Amino acid sequence: MTPDELFAAKKAARKASRRGKAEEEGKLNITSLMDIVSIIVVYLLKSYGSDPVLIMPTSGQKIPMSKADSPIQEGVPVYISKRSITFNNKKIVQIDENGDIDPAALQNHLIGPLYDAMAEEAEKAKTMAANQGKDEWAGRIILVGDQTLKFATLVDVMYTAGRAEYREYALCVIQSNS
């Protein structure tokens, strides 16, 4: 008898022996499955919950690259794109095609509408910090600027933030690998 014939004969014998038996019910052990799901959920919560601030650049905005490796700290983001300045998800001031702030909104480096929005937000944050029993309000903003942003525009935004009692500044960059 050849090996193929021997294999076919054994297979037929096993099939015949199973025909007379009742079908077995399979039991699913759910404990190990729950362990795996729990581990995945904890991992996802840890990885997504580790950043205190979520930065979402505006459309067409190119954030500059840097070799800096310090993590981002909690703060209020201010988006400065090629066309506008956005604070609290509201476009506050328009920027012209040359990268200059609208002259009607700018007076001695102070951007009026931006100052009003930032001062209002600062007061809310101070009140919330006092209600939570914190000693001091951090007063930190995260400047999310376009890589083609004029330095004068950045200075005007920083001056306005300082006048609105934001004392700490963080520049948002994308970490480069090289």
Residue that is written with structure tokens 């600062």 in the block: 122
pTM, 2 dp: 0.64
> Tokens 């007063």 sit at which residue?
139
Residue closest to 85 by CA, chosen among 163, 156, 166, 169: 156
Upper half-sphere CA count for residue 53 (Cβ side, 13 Å)? 18
* CA-angle at 148, arms to 142 and 152, nearest 5°: 70
pLDDT tens-digit map of 38-48: 999 988 887 76
Do residues 156 and 109 touch, judged by C-beta distance below 8 A?
A: yes
The pLDDT value given to residue 66: 78
Token pair 């700290």 is found at 73
Predicted pLDDT of residue 54: 64
Give the 3-state secondary structure of 113-126.
HHHHHHHHHHHHHH
d(CA 109, CA 75): 23
pLDDT score at 159: 92
Q: What is the pLDDT of residue 172?
A: 80
Which stretches within 87-141 are classed as H helix? 112-131
pLDDT of residue 97: 85
pLDDT < 70 regions, the chain? 20-26, 28, 48-58, 178
